[in-house]
Amino acid sequence: MKAHLITYGCQMNEYDTHLVESQLVSFGADLVGSVDEADFVLVNTCAVRGKPVDKVRSLLGELRKQKQQRPLVVGMMGCLAQLEEGQRIARKFEVDVLLGPGSLLDIGKALESNERFWSLQFKDELHGHIPPPPTGKLQAHLTIMRGCDHHCTYCIVPTTRGPQVSRHPDDILRELDSLLAAGVQEVTLLGQNVNAYGVDQGAKLAGYPSFADLLRLVGRSGVRRVKFTTSHPMNFTEDVAAAMAETPAVCEFVHLPVQSGSNRVLRRMAREYTREKYLSHIAEIKKHLPHVVLATDIIVGFPGETEEDFQETLSLYDEVGYDSAYMFIYSPRPGTPSYKHFQDLPRELKTERLQRLIVKQKEWSARKNAGKVGTIQELLLRGDAHDAGFLEGHTRGNHPTVVPKALGATGPGIYRARIEHATPHMLYGRLIGQDGQDLPELPRLNPEAAALSSPLQMA
Ligand code: SAH
Ligand code: SF4
Ligand code: F3S
């Protein structure tokens, strides 16, 4: 069998795609790089906003056409598969295999079955399952929990992924060991709400560390860099900031979604914190980590959001001074409380607010990135950049960065670089050492690349 997976959605879906791909390989399938080469196409879906759902719909339409012309098995997995909306789509487009986010390990049974195979149960075996490490990669994701116990009124995730289940710390550490043995240098711990690790359905699980202690444990494993996402402000404790500060492997990067700067909107979203509480967490983080890089998620145009509410989001952005932000237009999702109870705002008004927020975000990202010029950053370089002669990667603070190749530094690895230029979206540096060592400046491999590293030409 020749299988091809297509992934929409967040990093949890990327992790799950890897998990299913490795199962397929263990059953003898070959992974191929395109739909045309495949006789089994599996789409890993996202349902968080209308757009990813539309994309899946048109892709499945395309695949149904292909099915009429050649033998092809089409599968759908992930968040949308769990919803009635997704199952309607699956029936319409004659999807053969359907796996909810809790039943991924049924992929083997699906392959054995000669007829339509749908499985939507949440199976406990998934939490103890350790997928083999990715090959030849310096970065990996590590899921530490699945599901979500919050009920933000706009969000479909608790419906698609079910209640929160934390993975046992022994399983997490075993998976980490296998990643390290495979040469992984940067691990991102994943969960919908990592700060609530070990506190499932409101109760503390016996023998599970707090998230802060899990960070300390992971930091002692020998991994070079640890990141985590996502944090919910309500479950954030100062001990997490303290653990970050005292654990050198944990990167100085916090993604703390705020969603809105207005208390009225936060209440209607059922976010369970106030603007003031959120800002007090930011102050705690800055106290422990003065050079922290801060990112957030913001929804604009939530039902009932007034111009005044929106102004509060803009002013909160200034108060925090985020390095980056994911900004979304509110998308009403069937099955969520806000869809049922609130009236959606006009499209133009939402779009116009998003434009203004993007202006704000660009100003801050430009200012923050400009502040990095002249500093020395530790880079994880993944490999060749778009332009030959350059390598691309990212800092501990997740800034995308490009550097010219230098003698002794032509491939993936952890390097040190001095930042020379910045745009709102990119840092441009010059390598000065490798693997954390303070080496003398590395000569550039190619003097033409030096000329090219001006941001005017690169941007
Ligand atoms: N568990 C994570 C978020 C998962 S969804 C957390 O709470 O931080 C990722 C982001 O999508 C959310 O932070 C939110 O900003 C956005 N989002 C979720 N539902 C949305 C909706 N209905 N419309 C627009 N954006 C949404
Ligand atoms: Fe959705 Fe809220 Fe849970 Fe995040 S915390 S996944 S936004 S319900
Ligand atoms: Fe989308 Fe599911 Fe992630 S809805 S954002 S893929 S948790």
DSSP of 102-145: T-GGGHHHHHH-SS-EEE----THHHH--PPPPTT-SEEEEE-E
The fold of the 376-453 domain, in CATH, is OB fold (Dihydrolipoamide Acetyltransferase, E2P) (2.40.50)
Candidate of 324, 328, 345 to mutate for ligand 1, largest count of ligand atoms within 8 Å of Cβ? 328
With bands split at pLDDT 50, 70 and 90, how would you rate the model's confidence at 288?
very high
Contact 256, 282 (CB under 8 A): yes
Contact 198, 144 (CB under 8 A): no
Same CATH topology for 125-366 and 376-453?
no
* Secondary structure letter of residue 256 according to DSSP: -
Average pLDDT of the residues in 120-137: 95
Atom of ligand 2 nearest to the CA of 48: 1
pLDDT in the model for residue 114: 85
CA dist 325 and 360 (Å) reads 10
Contact 212, 224 (CB under 8 A): no
With bands split at pLDDT 50, 70 and 90, how would you rate the model's confidence at 456?
very low
pLDDT in the model for residue 77: 98
Contact 298, 313 (CB under 8 A): yes
The backbone torsions φ and ψ at residue 323, rounded to the nearest 5 degrees and listed phi first, read -75, -35
Contact 76, 56 (CB under 8 A): yes
pLDDT in the model for residue 265: 98
pLDDT in the model for residue 201: 93
Query: Rg of the chain over CA atoms, in angstroms?
Result: 23
> Quick one: what percent of the chain has pLDDT higher than 70?
95
Q: With 60 as the cut, is the pLDDT of residue 200 above it?
A: yes
With bands split at pLDDT 50, 70 and 90, how would you rate the model's confidence at 452?
very low
Task: Say how many Å lie between the CA of residue 150 and the centre of ligand 3.
Answer: 14
pLDDT tens column, 397-446: 999 999 998 877 778 999 999 999 999 999 999 988 876 565 555 555 55
**Strand, coil or helix: 6:** strand
Average pLDDT of the residues in 341-352: 97
pLDDT tens column, 153-171: 999 999 999 999 999 999 9
With bands split at pLDDT 50, 70 and 90, how would you rate the model's confidence at 454?
very low
Q: With 90 as the cut, is the pLDDT of residue 354 above it?
A: yes
The label of the residue with tokens 């001095």 reads 418
Average pLDDT of the residues in 9-29: 97
With bands split at pLDDT 50, 70 and 90, how would you rate the model's confidence at 82?
very high
The label of the residue with tokens 């149904």 reads 64
Average pLDDT of the residues in 268-281: 98
**Structure tokens given for 203:** 């109760």
With bands split at pLDDT 50, 70 and 90, how would you rate the model's confidence at 455?
very low
Q: Which CATH number, 3.40.50.2300, 3.40.190.10, 3.30.300.30, 3.40.50.800, labels domain 2-119? A: 3.40.50.2300
Q: With 50 as the cut, is the pLDDT of residue 262 above it?
A: yes
For 283, what's the count of Cα atoms within 13 Å in the CB-facing half-sphere? 8
CA dist 394 and 427 (Å) reads 9
Average pLDDT of the residues in 96-116: 95
Torsion angle, alpha carbons of 399, 404, 409, 414, to 10: 0
Question: Under CATH, which architecture does the 125-366 domain have?
Answer: Alpha-Beta Horseshoe (3.80)
Residue 259: left if φ>0, alpha if ψ -120 to 50, beta else—which one? left
**Structure tokens given for 35:** 């739909």
User: Between 318 and 435, whose confidence is greater?
Assistant: 318
Q: Which residues of 287-314 are buried (b: 16+ CB within 10 A; e: fewer)?
A: ebbeebbbbbebbbbbbebeeebbebbb
Average pLDDT taken over every residue of the chain:
93
Q: Whose CA is nearest to atom 1 of ligand 1?
A: 192
Helices (H) and strands (E) in the chain, counts: 17, 21
With bands split at pLDDT 50, 70 and 90, how would you rate the model's confidence at 447?
very low
Ligand 2 is surrounded, with C-beta below 6 A, by 148, 150, 152, 155, 157-158, 192-193, 232
Q: With 80 as the cut, is the pLDDT of residue 393 above it?
A: yes
> What is the sign of the dihedral through the CA atoms of 229, 233, 235 and 241?
positive
CA dist 237 and 321 (Å) reads 21
Contact 220, 180 (CB under 8 A): no
Task: Say how many Å lie between the CA of residue 219 and the centre of ligand 1.
Answer: 28
Q: With 90 as the cut, is the pLDDT of residue 124 above it?
A: yes
Count of CB atoms situated within 10 Å of the CB of 91? 12
pLDDT in the model for residue 434: 77
Q: Whose CA is nearest to atom 7 of ligand 3?
A: 157
Domain ranges (residues) in the chain = 2-119, 125-366, 376-453
User: Between 3 and 459, whose confidence is greater?
Assistant: 3
Q: Which ligand is nearest to the CA of 15?
A: 3
pLDDT in the model for residue 443: 55
CA dist 418 and 427 (Å) reads 10
pLDDT tens column, 180-197: 999 999 999 999 999 999
pLDDT tens column, 25-61: 999 999 999 999 999 999 999 999 999 999 999 999 9
> Quick one: what percent of the chain has pLDDT higher than 90?
90
Average pLDDT of the residues in 217-232: 96
Q: Whose CA is nearest to atom 3 of ligand 3?
A: 10
**Structure tokens given for 330:** 């509110």
Mean pLDDT lowest among 7-11, 18-22, 175-179, 429-433 = 429-433
Return all residues near 70 (Cβ < 8 A) that are at least 6 apart.
none
**Strand, coil or helix: 380:** strand
Q: Which residues of 194-217 are buried (b: 16+ CB within 10 A; e: fewer)?
A: bbbbbbbeeeeeeebbbbbbbbbb
User: Between 388 and 123, whose confidence is greater?
Assistant: 123
User: Between 310 and 449, whose confidence is greater?
Assistant: 310
Run of H or E residues at 325: strand 324-329
Task: Say how many Å lie between the CA of residue 109 and the centre of ligand 1.
Answer: 33
CA dist 323 and 295 (Å) reads 6
